[in-house]
Chain A
Amino acid sequence: MKTQKISVFVSALFLLIGMNAYAQDAQVILKEMDKVMYSPKDMTGKTTIILIDKKGKEKTREANIIQKGTDRRIFRFTAPAAQAGIAVLSLPDDVMYMYMPAFGKERRISSSVKSQNFAGTDFSYDDMEAKPYSEKYTPKLISTEEAVFVLELVPLSKKSKYSKLIVKIDKENYTPTTMDYYDRGGRKVKEGTYTFVQVGEYWNAQEMSITDLKKKHSTKMLMSDVKYDQGFTDDEFTVRKLKQ
C-alpha cells in the first residue's frame, strides 16, 4: 500500500515537473516570438489594408504607422478620402486617443471599444495592440511539428473576447506563421496567417491576413517602406503629435 502511494506521488511529481517544463518551454518560445516581433526600438512604415468581403469584393485603406517599443503607436489613415486624417494614438496602460479631423479635437477611446473591430477591418483594437503576447497570455505547448511549435495562449484578462489562441511559431526564426482565435464558447472565429521577411537585422511582418470565419470577411495588411531604429523619443507619441 505504502509502495503504491509513493508510486502515485512520484508519478504526480513527474507529471507536474513535466507540465512545468512544458510551460517553461512554452513561455520561452513565446518570449522568443515577442523578442523577434518587438525587438526594434522603433519603426515607421506604410500599410495597405485590403478588406475582402464574402463575395470577394475588395476595399482598400492606407495608413502610416509610427511605433516605439511595444506600447506607443500612432496609426494615421491616408486613404480613402472619407477616412483620411483619422488617427489613433496608443499609449501605455491601455490609454488610446482618436483624432477626428472633422471635429478638430482628440477623444479618449473607452475600453468598451477595444474589443470592437478597428476601422472596418477584422482586427480588433486589442488585436492591433503591440503589447507582447507573453504579457497578455498564458502559453502552453500543445505539440511540436516538423517546422513549427504549436502553442495555446489563454488570455490573462477576463475581459478578452477570446477563450484562447492557437499559434504556430516557426522553429528557426520564431516568427508566427498562423494564429487561430477561439471565442468564449470555444468556437474558432478567426484565422490569421503571417509572412515575415528579414529587413536588416529584424523580421518584418510584411503581410498579415486575418479571416473572420463567421462573417466570411478577410483583412490583409501589407507593410512597405519600413524603417527601423530611427531614434524616436516618447515626445513623438503625444496628443500634440496626434493632432499635427
Chain B
Amino acid sequence: MKIASPIIVAVLVFVMGTNIVSAQDELKVSGELLSNQRVLLEDPNDWAWKENRLTIKLNKKISGDSKFYSEVWLRNIDLPMITSSADMYNKGTLDPYNLEVREAYVQLYGILSDNLDMKIGRQRITWGTADLLNPTDNLNPYDMEDVLDFGRHRGSDAFSFDYYFNSEFSIQGAFVPFFQPANTPIGMFSNALAPAMEMPPGLTLTGLTDQLMMPESNLAESSTAGIRFKGFVAGFDFSLSYLSGIDGIPVSTYNTFTPVDAMGGISINSQLSFYRNQIIGADLAGSIMGVGVWAEAATFLPEDDIVMTSDLSALYAMPAGTIVQDSIMLKKDAYTKYVVGADYTLSNGAYINVQYLHGFINERGSDALNDYFFVRVEKSFFDAKLKLSPINGGYIVSDWDDVENNHTLIYIPEITYMATDNAEISLTAGLFDGTGSNAFASFNDYDMLMFKFKYSF
C-alpha cells in the first residue's frame, strides 16, 4: 500500500474540515468497476494481464468558488506471488489489493483575481492536443505499467494556476516540488521499453543488479516547473509551453563489470541516474474543411551530455588503477518529438482517426526516435449498442534504410457492446508482427486476446 503524501493528507483534512463547516453542495460519489483480462493466444494461453479495479471518484463543490476532487483506485493486479505454504495463511498475499491515489486536489476559482484559478494537491496536468500520445505532456510522471495503455500518467503532488486574460487567451503555470519517477511496465512486458544491452564479444551476461541514484531531495534538484500560454486565433486553438524538469526514465551512467566464471560469464552492477531537461513545446488544433486536425511538437534540451562509464577493472584483474570506458548515451543536442493527426466522421457515422508520431515516450536523442503511424476506424450499430473497430493499429519503422528488418505491425481490432447504459463489454485482439530494435518488435510472441468489462456508477 502506498503512503499518502503530506499534500494529499492536507487536502483531505481541508476537505473534511470544510465538510463540517459548509455543505452547500452534496458530495458526489461516482466511479467504475473494471475487469481487464488478457491471455496469450498461443497454447497454453498464459495470462498476459489480470486486473480488477474499483475506481472511486469524489467530487464536492465546497462553495461557489471552490471544489474538491479525488480519484482513487483500489485494485488487484497480476497473479499472487505465492512461494511457500506460509503464504497461504496470509490473505494479503493470496488476494493482494493496493490503493492508489490518482488525484486528490482542491480547486479554487477566482482567487486573488476574478481571472485566476488555482489547484493544489495531487493532480493530473494534461498538456497537448494530440490523441493520447502527447510529446508536450511532461509535468506528470508516465505510468507505463500497462504498455498498451498509451500515454497514461500518474498524478503529481503539485500546485498549478490558470490565469485567463479573456475567453480566448490564458496562461497556465505548474510547480511540482517533488520528483516522482515513471513506473515501468510489469509482468511479461517488464523489459519491453528497456534498451537492449549489447555485450562485448566473448562475454555473457549472467547477472544484473542496479542502483537508482535519485536526485537530491531539495527544491533546486528535484522540482519541476512549467508554463503554458494558450490561445485561440483564426479558428485554431494553440499553445506554447516551456518546462524544466527531470526525465522520469533513468539512464545507465556507471556499469561495473564483474567476472563470475572462467567461461566469460559476467555480472553487471549498473548505476541508473536521472537527468534534467528543458522542454519547449507547441501545439495546435482546429478544423479544415470539416476535418479535425492537430499537431504537437516538443523540443528536448538535455542539460548535459549523458555519459555511461563502464568499469572493466575486475575483468582484467589489474590491482593498480581502474580501467574504464566512456560512451555517450545521450548528447546534449536538442531533439524534437512530434505528432500530427486528423479525424473525420463520415456521413454514415464511421469515425476515422489517423496519427503520425515521431518519437515514442521511451525514446531519447534524435538518432533513437522512431516513426509510428496509427489508424483507427470505428462505427456504431444498433443505436450505439455495438461498436466495431475493424481497423485499429499501427505501423512502426525504426530504420528507413532497412525497413524489412526494422518494422512492427500492430493490429488491434475491437468489438464493444453496451449491455446497459453503464455496462460496457469489449473484446479485443492484439496481434504483433515485428523485427528490429523498436520496443514493439519484442511483442512478437505476445499475440493476445483482451477482455474488458466496465461498469460505471
Contact = CB atoms under 8 A, between A and B. Distances in A.
Given A82-B456, A240-B164, A112 B290 contact: yes
Given A104-B126, A120-B384, A215-B383, A238 B291 contact: no
B26 interface: no
Contact of B124 (A81, A104, A115, A240): A104
Contact of A120 (B126, B292, B383): B383
B294 to A, nearest CB: 9
Nearest to A106: B237
B66 to A, nearest CB: 10
Contacts of B286: 108
Interface in B91-150: 107, 109, 117, 124, 126, 129
Nearest to B131: A107
Q: Which has the most chain A C-beta neighbours within 10 Å: B117, B290, B293, B384?
A: B290
A53 interface: yes
B218 to A, nearest CB: 30
A82 B290 contact: no
Q: Which has the most chain A C-beta neighbours within 10 Å: B67, B237, B293?
A: B237
B345 A161 contact: no
Interface in A73-123: 80-84, 93, 95, 103-105, 107-113, 115-117, 120
A49 to B, nearest CB: 12
B162 A112 contact: no
B287 A240 contact: no
B421 A82 contact: yes
B117 A240 contact: yes
Contacts of B109: 244
A112 B421 contact: no
A147 B196 CA distance: 80
A51 interface: yes
B290 A110 contact: yes
A108 B237 contact: yes
B456 A95 contact: no
A81 B292 contact: no
Interface string A163-186: 000000000000000000000000
Given A104-B126, A240-B170, A244-B109, A110 B383 contact: no
A171 B347 CA distance: 36
Contact of B345 (A103, A110, A239): A110
B422 A82 contact: yes
Interface string B159-190: 00010100100100000000000000000000
B30 interface: yes
B344 interface: yes
B378 interface: no
Nearest to A82: B456
Nearest to B290: A112
B164 A238 contact: yes
B157 interface: no
Contacts of B44: none
A59 B344 contact: no
B39 interface: no
A201 to B, nearest CB: 28
Contacts of A103: 126
Contact of A81 (B107, B290, B456): B456
A188 interface: no
B265 interface: no
B349 interface: yes
A229 interface: no
A171 B168 CA distance: 43
A235 interface: yes
Contact of A108 (B67, B126, B292, B421): B292
A51 B287 contact: no
B347 A161 contact: yes
B235 interface: yes
Contact of B292 (A59, A104, A105, A112): A112
A239 to B, nearest CB: 8
B346 to A, nearest CB: 8
21 contacts: A53-B383, A80-B422, A80-B456, A81-B456, A81-B457, A82-B421, A82-B422, A95-B235, A109-B292, A112-B345, A112-B346, A115-B347, A120-B384, A161-B347, A215-B383, A217-B383, A234-B167, A239-B167, A240-B162, A240-B167, A244-B67
4 smallest CB-CB distances across A and B, nearest first, come from A110-B292, A82-B456, A80-B421, A112-B290
Given A82-B422, A113-B292, A234-B167, 12 more contacts: A51-B383, A81-B421, A81-B456, A107-B285, A111-B287, A111-B290, A115-B345, A116-B345, A215-B383, A235-B167, A244-B107, A244-B109
Interface of A: 51, 53, 59, 61, 80-84, 93, 95, 103-105, 107-113, 115-117, 120, 159, 161, 215, 217, 234-235, 237-240, 244
